[in-house]
Amino acid sequence: MINKKLHKWQLPLKPYLYANGIHQLDGKDWVSCEQQDLTLSSWRDCAVILSREHYVEQQKCYPVSNLVHLMRVIKVETQTLSPFGGQTFWSIVGKTPSGWLVTYWSVPQDVIVGLMGKFKVVLPESLLLAESVDNGIFETVGERGLFLYKQDNHFQSAIKNNLINSSHYFCNLVNRDDLVSQSTLLSYEDYQSRLILSFKKCNLLLLPGLVIPSKKEAFDIERLKEWKKPAIVAVALLLSYAVGLSIYLNKQEEHYDQLLAGKQQEMRQLLAQERQLGEVITYIEDYQFFTDSNPGLIVLLSSLEGVEELDVQISRVDLTGNQVNISGLAPSATSLFSFLSQQPQISSLDFSSTISKDRQTGLDRFQLTFTLSEVKNG
C-alpha cells in the first residue's frame, strides 16, 4: 500500500542527464551544461539520470526473509561486484517467491568523480524506463537505440551496437525468443516523456542504494535545515514500510508453510495409492498369466471346489490335456463319485481301479479318471 502511494507522488525535481558530460533538459532536448556551476544549492537539483553507456547492470535474487540479513549481503556484494574500481549502486526492486530481487549498477570512478559535489542521487536510465512500462520487449527508435526486457520486477537492458543490432538478437540474449514478434517500438518523444515522468515520480524506496558518495565537506546550517524535513519524512516512510513488510512476510511464510504441509500430505496419499495400484496390477497380471498358461488346471480346481466338505484327502493328480487321474482317501469313495458326477465340467467319470480299504485310516482308497470340458489352450 505504501509502495503504491509513493508512486503517485511527483517530485518537483529538475531533470539532469549524465551522458559523457552533464546535460539539462531544455524543452524536448538535452543541452550540455558542463560549464555551469552545478554545486548543489537546492534539493530539487539533487538527482541525475545516468546514461546506460556508463554502467554495468546485473540482477540477483537472494532467498533471505530477514531485511537486516539482506542488507548485510548487499553490503558485501557492492564491495566485490564493481569491475571498474568505482562505485556499485543498488536497489531492491521487488520480491519473488524465491526471495528478494536486487539490481546492481557498477559505475567507473571517473564518472563518480564528475558527479560528486553536484548531485546526491543517481538514477540509472534502465531503471526509470523499466518503471514506466509493462512486461515485454521494448526498443527505442533513433540513432542511439536502447533495448529493455521486463517481466514483473525482473528487467535487463542493453545498448544497440554491432553485436546487438536488433530485437531478435536481444531476445536471444535474454532467452526470450518467443517475444521477438511482440517487440514494442518507443519513439524518441514517447521515450523521453516516459523517462522524465519516471524521474519525477521516482519511488523513494528505491533510493537508499543510489546515493552518490559525497566529498568530505561540511554542510552549512542553512543547507542542513533544508534537508532535515525531507530526510525525516523519508526515514519515517522507510520505517513504516519495513514494519508493514515484515508483518506481511511473516503472514506469507505461515501461509506457504500450511500450503506446503497440505501438498506433502496429498503427495504421501498419492504415493500410497500408487503403490496399492501397482500391487493390484501385478496380482492381476500374475493371475492372467497363470490362467493363460494353465487353462485345464483352472477348470479342474473349479470342479473340485467343495470336496473338502467330504473330508477327501487327494494324494495325487495327473492332468494331461483334458484327461484327469486322481487318487487318494475318502470316507466314502462312492459319495465322492456321486459329487463329481454332478459337476458340469466333468464327463466320462469312472473308477480306474477297485475300491480298497486303507488299513491305517480305515478310509476308502480310490482312483478316478474323468474328462474336463471347456478347456481351451491359449
CATH number for the domain that contains residue 301: 3.30.1360
Q: Are residues 202 and 334 in the same domain?
A: no
pLDDT band for position 219 (50/70/90)? very low
Q: Are strands 146-151 and 154-159 parallel, antiparallel or unpaired?
A: antiparallel
Which one of 186, 217, 248 terminates a domain? 217
Q: Are strands 87-96 and 136-140 parallel, antiparallel or unpaired?
A: unpaired
Q: Are residues 88 and 211 in the same domain?
A: yes
Which one of 172, 199, 217 terminates a domain? 217
Residue-level pLDDT at 124:
92
Residue-level pLDDT at 6:
43
Domain range spanning residue 184?
2-217
Which one of 217, 243, 266 terminates a domain? 217
What are the tens digits of pLDDT across the range 17-31?
888 888 888 777 888
Q: Give me the chain's average pLDDT, please.
A: 81
Q: Are residues 188 and 307 in the same domain?
A: no
Q: Are residues 304 and 195 in the same domain?
A: no
Mean of the pLDDT values across residues 45-63?
88
pTM of this structure: 0.54
Q: Are residues 329 and 212 in the same domain?
A: no
Q: Are residues 120 and 15 in the same domain?
A: yes
Q: Are residues 7 and 151 in the same domain?
A: yes
Any domain includes 198: yes
Residue-level pLDDT at 373:
80
Any domain includes 150: yes
Any domain includes 106: yes
Any domain includes 156: yes
What are the tens digits of pLDDT across the range 224-252?
556 667 778 888 888 888 888 888 888 88
What whole-number distance in Å separates Cα of residue 268 and Cα of residue 64? 29
CA 129 to chain centre: 26
Total domains in the fold of the chain: 2
What are the tens digits of pLDDT across the range 284-334?
877 777 666 666 677 777 778 778 788 888 888 888 888 889 899 989 888
Residues 248, 250, 256, 262, Cα dihedral to 10°? -130
Question: What is the H or E stretch that residue 76 is in?
Answer: helix 67-80
Any domain includes 283: no
Residue-level pLDDT at 369:
92
Q: Are residues 39 and 158 in the same domain?
A: yes
Residue-level pLDDT at 105:
92
pLDDT surpassing 60 at residue 220: no
Helical segments of 305-359, H only: 333-341
pLDDT band for position 90 (50/70/90)? very high
